[in-house]
Structure 1
Amino acid sequence: MFEFGILGPVEVRADGAPVPISAAKLRTLLAALLLRPNHTVPTTTLIEHVWGDQPPQRGVAALQNYVMRLRQALGESHIRTTPGGYSISLSPSQLDLTRFSRLTVEAAAAGPAARSRLLTVALELWRGPALEGIPSPPLQRTEVPRLEELRLNAVEMRIDADLELGRHAALVPELRSLTAQHPLRERFWHQLMLALRRCGRRAEALAAYRSVSELLCEELGLDPGPELREQFAAILQAS
């Protein structure tokens, strides 16, 4: 069975063995199809993703050639010609993004322990930045930020579950790292302040609030949002 991955470098495996897709444009075409499994991706969209703003003079014919090469690598059954474009036919278990999405949906309806476990499994599907190494400005500009937002939302959900489970002290190092990596993402700062407050580390929680306040003011000209302000008030009341 073929398995496909886009949550990291684009990869293909057949019965566990790597299937080399060496040409960059071929990997880009595959990535564009995998982002919309079982749905038609218009020919014009595929040409834009593969060649950017410098399409070949005979773009449709060039695309047909790449589709033929992709079929040779994957077998005829996966890539289908449809009215107006092409689609890749997959079952939900064959693509890491689909498995990730299914796990996050299941987690949203679960209790904190199951939610933490399901989201941990979902996040382990990420092997690096989504579509890493795909030289397509349109995909890097639109799809990569969208997928990264899905990942960060899952991280936030998992941390919320772990906070519900009382894992405050264990979360502090991870949250310090996350606020350093994503300094303008208020949710991570809120979670850090909450974890520190519940650990009795009031001074550190207040210092975190001062840090995010200064960052938001300097970078965006904004004050902290209501969630951060409420957490700040809770810290003061706990003194």
Structure 2
Amino acid sequence: MRVLLVEDDPSIAGALCEGLPRYGFAVDHVTTGAEALAGFGAAELVLLDLGLPDADGIDICRRIRAVSEVPLIIITARSDEIERVVGLELGADDYVSKPFGLRELVARMRAVTRRTAPRSAGEPEPPPAVATQQLGSLRLDRAARRAFVADAEISLTPKEFDLLSLLAATPGVVHTREQLIEEVWDSNWFGSTRTLDVHVGALRKKLADAVEVNTVRGVGFRLDPVAR
């Protein structure tokens, strides 16, 4: 996949130009908004820094999105939530705050390209998750975003519910850490992978003996019904 990297910080650009090809990405690097507008047409994905020397990246994002649906991820050191929201509302597919790890960025790039890739003719839609699901004493109501153990509702945060819903959709199947982060946190996640461990730990406490969230060392997590 050909990526247009719009970044004027030589240390970040150098690391990405060196690291991304190891994951199968061909990188074209430019440092200005003008070069970005001239070169995005050949790209299959754009990584766009907001702090450019000749233009505001938000404006470059707007101008690219006005004429193209190319997947676009904003990368920036800015922490202003308003600018993040504006970038997403203007059509950016994701937003990554500096500093970030290469593996995190690659996971975001792959997630964005999966979401934006056109479905092949005749390719079926993925089956929806079951709206109401019973696993032993655990009952999930996905439409109402509620979870019950032995008919008593348990209090879950939005991300805890999303994580539980994803694991429960395919009980016994191992989900990699990367898959869980991409599916549950997606464009709203800017932290370390420890976030996933914290949420798994919270689920284990709240689910008690209803189901087990088992660690598969070096891979990820699997949800198993409790044998009675």
Scaled by the length of structure 2, the TM-score of the pair is: 0.36
The higher radius of gyration belongs to 1
Which has more helix, going by share of residues? 1
- Greater RCO (Cα-Cα under 8 Å, separation 6 or more): 1
